[in-house]
């Protein structure tokens, strides 16, 4: 039997060692003891329930499950706290072992030898040999993720915070490995770590980098990410200097590891580091060292937000030189570098590329046309046709138009797609006869059910600005109404996408028919049909008649007044999709005060419970019915914590460019009167400024509208970007 009170680490590396019946897993035969259980945890995916018990262990007896296959429950006596045991145990197979004399939690000295690396790898491989079948491992991983309760989540946060603040680095490493392996996402806003602990983490990160201990360095940067912290200025500067040293010495694997660390920790390279990287890139381009240039482009793309104007101009000038010299391989590499570094060509570069393209088109140099179009497509921020002073000749337009139709006849879809991009770039148009042929081909594909072909032809319509003929528009409308009448919803959905892609409008009679069919489906309780009709109405830009809009809104108000929330949710979804609105002509029903009160309380309750889908539905219903949050003291209010969560959700949605979600959270904040935190206001303003830097004007306008609608303001504390 294994003595649970022994301080000697258990050697489990020999697979031939017989398992004790009382202390081993009945399935995977892992022997349980006080150190073996820790080893098993660290070697593979970690059982969260075991981890939390181990972290909070007392001298009392606890119940354990096998951390590998999740089988059974076994007894094990704990004689001392987990943190003390781990602190004394330096060899944990399957987890990184620090070499003697190398980086530790107190000091860093000596060299990390290749033999020690090999020894660690061999130990890990021996441990992997003892693992159960893959199916059992996967079952354990899924059970761990599914079994994480809210108490376990907060316990993990508490233990990680305690370990970092008290300098229990081994304990922090194991918790972080658990977080990675189980896919848990921590909220950094709930983790408070002392500045001393952050400084110590940064110093250990630099020490690990200096001795080439990349496994430990990666885990440390993951800890930085988990707690939402960035290294100190000195550590950021040191990481940047190590990166430049690796680049100068041609150590590209090391440079890539440093790139990942800098990106993961959120470190910002100094001006000198960025300048050095840009200089090396331009030097590599000038000397034709294309592999080196591509490696540098990857580094710059990951850790630098914006390339200075002078370096952008240098790269674009090189591209124009390559085009003028007909060096298409060189031009293609430069195209990739410019795209990767997000360099933006100036007007003179766009003008030069556009005119080279026009010359190639007018001279019939089609290989050059294709190469130039790829360059313009990847580097030009706006269509070339808007900045050209010359127009394509009539002969060139006819040649492009004929080549496009020929490519379609031959089924050469790639060539057809590239040709429509060229036509779009130079502002050419199809001949009337070719436009009719294109229109007929679309209807022919629809009649034969060749939906892949219809998607391709639809893209050509969009690129060339072609329009369906009147007869073909009517034929398409007849097909759509036939599919709706037969309830062939898949076909109807494909047809409404064609309407949307070719800018085709339904005849008025068909619009009215769709509107009446929607009301009929709602009255009959055929919600699936109603949802399908709502999608078709939305896709074909059909407008409901005023009477039908009035009926829908009145049905919604009636459902809310009677507390029929499921019906209200369904009606709100249809109203939202069709764009129906509250009429102000005195013909609408009115919400009772009790109904408004009930909506407000349900919205507040959904926010407090984190039921965001329900919260979105309630705020949408309140907007559709003209309800407001009652201020007579009968409606609950959001707490400061609830407002903080809402604020974080809005900032996260904007950061991920999930605009529908962002608009939903914005609506909830407006109705409930919640306030954004200062940090989130600052973050949103910074994102708006960054969108302007990147010429993402749509994003910038969206963020500005969100900020204005909720009364956010630019921060004047000097911490925001300008």
**pLDDT tens across 267-299, in order?**
888 888 888 888 888 888 888 888 888 888 888
**36 falls in which pLDDT band (50, 70, 90)?**
very low
Whether the Cβ atoms of residue 525 and residue 486 lie closer than 8 Å to each other: no
Phi-psi domain of 327 (left: phi exceeds 0; alpha: psi -120 through 50; beta: other) = beta
Last residue of a domain, one of 320, 344, 368: 344
Question: What average pLDDT score do residues 392-413 get?
Answer: 83
Please say if the pLDDT value at position 502 is more than 60. yes
Number of domains within the chain: 2
Last residue of a domain, one of 324, 344, 364: 344
Would you state the pLDDT for residue 686? 82
Would you state the pLDDT for residue 46? 41
Neighbours of 152 (CB within 10 A): 15
Domain-located, residue 321: yes
Among 133-142, 248-257, 594-603, the range of highest mean pLDDT: 248-257
Please say if the pLDDT value at position 127 is more than 60. no
Radius of gyration for the chain, computed over Cα atoms and rounded to the nearest angstrom: 32
Would you state the pLDDT for residue 628? 64
Write out the residue range of the structural domain in which residue 331 sits.
230-344
Question: What average pLDDT score do residues 125-148 get?
Answer: 37
Please say if the pLDDT value at position 6 is more than 70. no
**pLDDT tens across 420-432, in order?**
888 877 777 788 8
Last residue of a domain, one of 329, 344, 359: 344
Would you state the pLDDT for residue 7? 33
Q: What per-residue string of b and e applies to 140-151 under the rule 16 or more CB within 10 Å gives b?
A: bbebbeeebeee
Q: Tell me how many degrees the CA angle 297-699-712 measures, rounded to the nearest 5.
A: 120
Question: What average pLDDT score do residues 312-327 get?
Answer: 86
**150 falls in which pLDDT band (50, 70, 90)?**
low
Lowest-pLDDT choice from 151-165, 357-371, 522-536, 542-556: 151-165
DSSP lists the bridge partners of residue 76 as 62
Please say if the pLDDT value at position 159 is more than 50. yes
Domain-located, residue 1: no
**pLDDT tens across 531-576, in order?**
898 888 888 888 888 888 888 888 888 887 887 878 888 888 888 7
Would you state the pLDDT for residue 61? 30
The first and second tokens of residue 190, run together, are 């709930």
Question: What average pLDDT score do residues 302-310 get?
Answer: 75
Residues 6+ apart with CB under 8 A from 254: 212, 246
pTM exceeding 0.75: no
Please say if the pLDDT value at position 10 is more than 50. no
Q: Compute the distance between CA of residue 129 and CA of residue 123 in angstroms, rounded to an integer.
A: 10
Domain-located, residue 643: yes
Domain-located, residue 287: yes
**149 falls in which pLDDT band (50, 70, 90)?**
low
Domain-located, residue 280: yes
Would you state the pLDDT for residue 588? 58
Whether the Cβ atoms of residue 65 and residue 73 lie closer than 8 Å to each other: yes
Comparing 528 with 14, the larger pLDDT belongs to 528
Please say if the pLDDT value at position 689 is more than 80. yes
Average pLDDT in the chain: 71
Domain-located, residue 702: yes
Please say if the pLDDT value at position 514 is more than 60. yes
Would you state the pLDDT for residue 69? 39
Please say if the pLDDT value at position 147 is more than 70. no
Lowest-pLDDT choice from 50-59, 104-113, 571-580: 104-113
CA terminus-to-terminus distance, the chain = 68
**406 falls in which pLDDT band (50, 70, 90)?**
confident
Domain-located, residue 125: no
Q: Report H helices in 58-113.
A: 82-88
Domain-located, residue 685: yes
Using DSSP's 3-state secondary structure scheme, residue 471 falls into helix
Side-chain-side CA neighbours of residue 25 (13 Å): 20
Comparing 60 with 251, the larger pLDDT belongs to 251
Which phi and psi (to 5°) does residue 67 adopt?
A: -75, -10
**pLDDT tens across 642-681, in order?**
777 778 888 888 887 888 778 778 777 777 777 778 888 8
Would you state the pLDDT for residue 384? 55
Would you state the pLDDT for residue 82? 31
Comparing 150 with 551, the larger pLDDT belongs to 551
CA distances (Å), origin 721, targets 326, 536, 688, 703: 42, 44, 10, 15
């Amino acid at each position: 039997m294994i003595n649970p009170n022994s301080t000697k680490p258990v050697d489990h590396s020999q697979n031939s060692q017989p398992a004790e019946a009382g202390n081993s897993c009945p399935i995977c035969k892992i022997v349980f003891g006080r150190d073996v259980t820790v080893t098993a945890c660290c070697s593979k995916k970690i059982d969260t329930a075991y981890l939390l018990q181990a972290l909070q262990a007392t001298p009392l007896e606890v119940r354990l499950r096998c951390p590998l296959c999740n089988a059974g429950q076994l007894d094990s006596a704990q004689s001392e706290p987990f943190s003390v045991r781990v602190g004394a145990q330096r060899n944990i197979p399957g987890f990184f072992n620090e070499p003697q004399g190398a980086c530790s939690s107190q000091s860093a000295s000596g060299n990390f030898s290749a033999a020690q690396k090999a020894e660690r790898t061999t130990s890990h491989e021996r441990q992997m040999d003892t693992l159960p079948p893959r199916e059992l491992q996967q079952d354990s991983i899924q059970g761990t993720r599914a079994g994480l309760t809210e108490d376990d989540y907060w316990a993990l946060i508490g233990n990680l915070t305690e370990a970092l603040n008290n300098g229990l680095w081994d304990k922090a490493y194991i918790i972080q490995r658990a977080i990675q392996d189980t896919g848990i996402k921590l909220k950094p806003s709930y983790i408070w770590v002392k500045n001393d602990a952050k400084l110590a983490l940064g110093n250990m990160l630099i020490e690990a980098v200096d001795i080439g201990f990349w496994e430990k360095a990666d885990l440390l940067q993951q800890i930085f990410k988990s707690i939402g912290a960035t290294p100190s200025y000195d550590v950021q500067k040191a990481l940047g200097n190590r990166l430049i040293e690796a680049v100068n010495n041609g150590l590209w694997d090391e440079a890539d590891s440093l790139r990942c660390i800098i990106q993961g920790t959120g470190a910002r390279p100094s001006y000198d580091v960025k300048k050095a990287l840009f200089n090396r890139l331009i030097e590599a381009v000038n000397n034709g060292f294309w592999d080196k240039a591509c490696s540098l482009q990857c580094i710059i793309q990951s850790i630098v937000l914006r390339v200075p104007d002078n370096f952008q101009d240098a790269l674009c000038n090189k591209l124009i030189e390559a085009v003028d010299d007909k060096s298409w391989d060189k031009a293609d590499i430069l195209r990739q570098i410019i795209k990767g570094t997000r360099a933006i060509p100036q007007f003179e570069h766009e003008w030069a590329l556009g005119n080279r393209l026009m010359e190639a088109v007018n001279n019939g140099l089609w290989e050059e046309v294709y190469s130039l179009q790829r360059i313009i497509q990847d580097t030009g921020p706006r269509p070339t046709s808007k900045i050209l002073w010359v127009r394509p000749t009539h002969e060139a337009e006819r040649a492009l138009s004929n080549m496009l139709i020929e490519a379609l006849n031959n089924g050469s879809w790639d060539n057809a797609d590239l040709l429509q991009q060229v036509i779009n770039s130079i502002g050419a148009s199809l001949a009337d006869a070719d436009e009719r042929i294109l229109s007929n081909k679309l209807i022919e594909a629809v009649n034969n059910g060749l939906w892949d072909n219809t998607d391709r032809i639809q893209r050509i319509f969009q690129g060339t600005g072609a329009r369906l003929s009147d007869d073909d528009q009517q034929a398409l409308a007849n097909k759509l109404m036939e599919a709706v009448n037969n309830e062939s919803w898949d076909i109807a959905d494909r047809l409404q996408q064609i309407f949307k892609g070719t800018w085709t409008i339904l005849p008025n009679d068909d619009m009215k028919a769709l509107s009446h069919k929607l009301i009929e489906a709602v009255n009959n309780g055929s919600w699936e049909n109603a949802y399908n009709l709502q999608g078709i109405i939305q896709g074909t830009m059909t407008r409901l008649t005023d009477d039908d809009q009035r009926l829908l809104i009145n049905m919604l108000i009636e459902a809310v007044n009677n507390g029929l929330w499921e019906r209200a949710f369904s009606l709100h979804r249809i109203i939202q999709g069709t764009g129906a609105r509250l009429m102000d002509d005195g013909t609408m029903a009115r919400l009772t005060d009790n109904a408004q009160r009930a909506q407000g309380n349900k919205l507040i309750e959904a926010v407090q419970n984190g039921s965001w889908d329900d919260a979105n539905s309630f705020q949408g219903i309140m907007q559709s019915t003209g309800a407001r949050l009652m201020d007579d003291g009968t409606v609950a209010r959001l707490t400061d914590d609830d407002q903080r969560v809402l604020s974080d959700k809005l900032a996260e949605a904007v950061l991920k460019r999930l605009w529908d979600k962002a608009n939903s959270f914005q609506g909830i904040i407006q109705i409930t009167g919640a306030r954004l935190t200062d940090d989130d206001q600052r973050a949103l303003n910074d994102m708006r400024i960054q969108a302007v830097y990147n010429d993402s004007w749509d994003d910038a306008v969206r963020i500005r509208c969100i900020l204005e609608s909720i009364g956010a303001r630019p921060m004047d504390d000097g911490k925001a970007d300008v």
